[in-house]
Amino acid sequence: MKTPKRLQPLVDDGLIDDVLRSLKSGKEADVFVVRCGDEIRCAKVYKEANKRNFRNNVLYQEGRNVRGSRQARALEKGSRYGRKEAEEAWLSSEVDALYRLAAAGVSVPQPLGFFDGVLLMELVTDDDGNAAPRLGDVEFDADTARELHGVMIGEIVQMLCAGLVHGDLSEYNVLIGPEGPVIIDLPQAVNAAGNNNAFSMLARDVENMSNYFGQFAPELIGTDYAEEIWALYSQGKLEEATELTGRVVRSEEKIDISNLMRVIDDARMEEEAMRRRASEAESGESAEFE
């Protein structure tokens, strides 16, 4: 096929020898099957901000690292410079997540390099060497569904032990390879310790997996793996080998709402005070980037 414009520099530099075919066109990127020497790989070409459709909002941005205080303020203000910083952070988020998770042993495609908005990575294939099917395109018997559900819960735990939550996990971004499920599409992955929405995202990821496999093994629907996992994580007790039950014993003790609100108000006031002190300390710096 004709080499796409965004891939031509990689061909010119010898990183790609040939573009074989288009694999997928998605809301945030286009994926191509490419040949690199004797290896068949895939190249994920991220779309420009004005051409993509993904929910790149504050829920996912919270807790992501920026290079300094000026960049953080620019992001908050939404200036032109801030938008540029947000775009660069978005582009690097999946790359950083893939390298981090691959190093932690999570089942993700092996990243092979990131070049000017193009992620080069392993192509996940089936037994015949064709692109592996998505989880949502495969049907299972009840026993296999239970087994694979357990595998996916294990992968979610392993991701959390590495400090990340997928944030958009479903049957459409898990591939079924010869050795089992492989998790893909991670640009929205969030820092579990730095994002206040991390638990709700984890719960949605777990629920999506339980509901999908629950089509074949109905007893999986309604299990409480998310709460169990998060409770262990919050207590510093979660490990990759932790045995889970999918059940949570909830306390019947009444919550002191007034005391809880005082704690929240104190935390908010402390946060505002920290922001004021930081602003005063930086008042002598140069004006915002525009």
Active site residues: 168, 185
In the block, residue with structure tokens 């540029």: 84
CA dihedral 268, 193, 167, 272 (to 10 degrees): 20
Q: Which two tokens stand for residue 221?
A: 């629907």
The three state secondary structure string of the chain is CCCCHHHHHHHHCCCCCEEEEEEEECCCEEEEEEEECCEEEEEEEECCHHHCCCCCCHHHHCCCCCCCHHHHHHHHHCCHHHHHHHHHHHHHHHHHHHHHHHHHCCCCCCEEEEECCEEEEECCECCCCCECCEHHHCCCCHHHHHHHHHHHHHHHHHHHHCCEECCCCCCCCEEEECCEEEECCCCCCEECCCCCCHHHHHHHHHHHHHHHHHCCCHHHCCCCHHHHHHHHHHCCCCCCCCCCCCCCCCCCCCCCHHHHHHHHHHHHHHHHHHHHHHHHHCCCCCCCCC
Residue 285 corresponds to which tokens in the numbers above? Answer: 């710096």
